[in-house]
């Protein structure tokens, strides 16, 4: 390999690392019949994607990402952000809308943990006005059905995770998993307990 080729390869590798550090590299991840798949290439999310067995459907129209679970063959349709980190402060921001029927679905997660698979989960229950929670407890917001809600999650690695809803802090929880790598995922994930599940995200940013 010539020097120019080595330089180009090195520049491409550095660019990829910078993208990963900035949280810009991402791909769509779905699960059908308990088998998880990634939709590649990364950072080239499709405008529309229908999962096998018509199990789930993703669209990106006008900057609005819509995630739908359609039947019992699936329980996951998420964007996986390739921003793996082991230190520093990392922030996820976006606008979220949930629609009935929806029950006990994960909308965002900080993946990676020693006691469980995640450091943080934002979950939702529609009906009766709609509710956002940390895991299945810690109510963060109510009355959110069919409304755009500002979400901001701050992870100060090894110190805390803090959740903001509509620019108001709703809680701060300690993080003691200093040596466990983390990354972000957003979309819809959980055993389908209703006829379908529909979640929308827009204006998502990672820093």
Domain ranges (residues) in the chain: 3-206
Kindly report the average pLDDT of the chain as a whole number.
88
Task: Give pTM, 2 decimals.
Answer: 0.86
Residue 2's pLDDT band, with cuts at 50, 70 and 90, is low
Task: Flag whether pLDDT at 10 surpasses 60.
Answer: no
Q: Looking at residue 24, what is its pLDDT?
A: 65
Per-residue model confidence (pLDDT) at position 145: 97
Q: How many helices (H) and strands (E) does the chain have?
A: 1, 16
User: What pLDDT score does 41 carry?
Assistant: 77
Write out pLDDT tens, residues 16-35.
333 333 446 899 999 999 99
CA separation for the pair 117, 114 (Å, rounded):
7
Average pLDDT over residues 168-196: 93
3 state SS of 18: helix
pLDDT computed for residue 1 by the predictor: 52
Is the previous residue joined to 146 through a cis bond, with omega within 30 degrees of 0? no
Query: For 113-125, what is the mean pLDDT?
Result: 90
> Regarding the domain delimited by 3-206, which CATH topology (the fold level of the hierarchy) does it fall under?
Jelly Rolls (2.60.120)
The whole-angstrom separation of Cα 55 and Cα 127 is 23
Q: Which helix (H) or strand (E) holds 118?
A: strand 118-125
Q: How far apart are alpha carbons 88 and 134 in whole angstroms? A: 22
């Amino acid at each position: 390999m010539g020097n120019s080729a080595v330089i180009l390869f090195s520049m491409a590798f550095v660019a990829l690392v910078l993208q990963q550090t900035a949280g810009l590299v991402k791909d769509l991840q779905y699960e059908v019949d308990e088998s998880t798949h990634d939709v590649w290439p990364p950072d080239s999310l499709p405008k529309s994607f229908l999962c096998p067995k018509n199990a789930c459907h993703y669209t990106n129209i006008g900057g609005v990402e819509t995630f739908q679970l359609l039947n019992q063959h699936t329980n996951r349709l998420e964007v996986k952000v390739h921003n793996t980190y082991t230190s520093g402060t990392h922030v996820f921001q976006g606008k979220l809308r949930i629609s009935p029927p929806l029950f006990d679905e994960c909308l965002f997660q900080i993946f990676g943990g020693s006691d469980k698979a995640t450091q943080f989960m934002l979950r939702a229950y529609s009906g009766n006005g709609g509710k956002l929670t940390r895991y299945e407890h810690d109510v963060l917001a109510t009355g959110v059905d069919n409304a755009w809600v500002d979400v901001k999650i701050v992870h100060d690695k090894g110190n805390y995770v803090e959740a903001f809803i509509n620019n108001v802090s709703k809680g701060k929880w300690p993080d003691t998993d200093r040596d466990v790598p983390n990354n972000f995922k957003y979309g819809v994930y959980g055993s389908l307990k209703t006829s379908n599940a529909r979640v929308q995200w827009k204006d998502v940013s990672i820093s």
